[in-house]
A and B are shown apart, each in its own frame.
Chain A
Amino acid sequence: MFPSRSKMKVKILNWHAVASWTWDAQDETCGICRMAFDGCCPDCKYPGDDCPLIWGACNHSFHLHCILKWVNSQTSQPHCPMCRREWQFKAWEQRRRGFQLETPGQC
C-alpha cells in the first residue's frame, strides 16, 4: 500500500477522538419552547437522540416532543405553529430531496 518497498512500522499508542454535532435546522431555537435546538425540550435532560428534531412538510422544524404535544392537543386538523399550513411530518426521503434542490451545484 505504501509506495516505497521498505515498510514503515507505525504503532499508534494513543488515540483521542473528538467529534461535535449540530442539528441542520434553519433556526437556532424551537419556536414552541424557545429552547435551543442543540439543547433539549423542557421535558428532557439530554439533547441528541433523546430529544430529536422533526421537520414538517412545510420545512419548519421543532423538538419532536414539543410538536407532538401541540399536534395531540388539537381537536381538529393540526396546523404548523409557524405558518398555519396543515401539519404533516416530512418523510426523510423528502427531506433529502429538498436539501438537494435547495443547494444546487454544491457538491
Chain B
Amino acid sequence: MGRYIFGRIGYMLITFFVIATFTFFLMQTLPGSPFNDERLSETQKERLYERYGLDEPVPIQYVKYMTNIFKGDFGVSFQYDGRAVSDIIGERIGASVVLGAQSLIFGCIIGLILGIIAAIKHNTAIDYVAMVIAVIGLSVPNFVFAGLLQYWVGVKLQWLPVAFWEGFEYSILPTISLSVFVIATIARFIRTEMLEVLGQDYIVTAKAKGLNQFAIVMKHGIRNAAIPIITILGPMTVSLLTGTLVIEQIFSVPGLGEQFVKSIMTNDFPVIMGVTLFYSILFIGVVLIVDILYGVIDPRIRLSGGTK
C-alpha cells in the first residue's frame, strides 16, 4: 500500500508540473496587461514591469516561476501591490472550503436517502416523485434556487440572513443552494446502483437467511451500491469548490471563487496561476483519496493483497 501511494504521489508531481507549464504559457497568450491604467506613464509602466520581472524574456520568466513554485513561493499579486499570493488564497479559502464541505455532506446524505427510498419503492409514486425532484435539481441552475431562497426564506419569512459570512446561520442558504445539484446527482446514481445491487444473488442469499428488508439494504446494499458513487465524488468535490463562485457572489461570501473572478478581470497573473494550481493540487489530491477509498469500501481492490 505504501509503495502504491508513493508511486501515485510521483505521478501527481508530474501532473502538477504539466499543469503549471500549460497554465503559464496560456497566461502569456492572454490579451492585455496588468498595468493598463491610463494614469500610468510609460516610464512608470516600465519600472513596474522591471519590478515584477516581466521585462525578461518568457523562457527565463518561466524557469524562475517554476523554481519558485517548487520552493513553495507563488509570487506576489499585482493588484494588491506586493501581497503574497499564498496569503490571498489562505485568507479566502476558509469560507469556500466550509461552504463546499457542508454542501457535499448535506447533499450526500439527502441524496443517499432519496435514492435508496426510490430504489426500494421502485416504480411507485414515491419513486417517481423522488426522480422528478432529482431532475429538477439537475436542470435548474443553482443561482435560481439561491434567488428563490433569499426571497422566501430570507426576505419574506425573515428566518435566515441573506448575505455575508458572519456565522453558521449565514452559511445555511448558500449551502442548500449549492447542494441541490449534489442531491440530484447522488440520488439518481444511488437509485440505479441500488436497483442493480438488489437484484444480485447475494441479496437473495441474505433474504434466504431471514433478514428483513431494512437490514438487507443497510448491511448488504449500501456498501455495494456506493462503490460507483465514489468515482463521481472526486470530480464533484472539485466542481463544488470551483463552482461556488456564483453562489459566493450572490450571498456576498468572501471566498476563493469571488477572488478568482476579480483577478481575471485585472490580469493579475500570479493570483490566477496560484488559484489554478491550487485547484489542480486539490483535484489530484481528491482523485488519490478516492482511489484509496475504493480499497476501503471494496475489499476486492484492496492493494495490500492478502492470501490468494
A pairs with B: no
Give me the interface of A with B, judged by CB distance under 8 Å: none
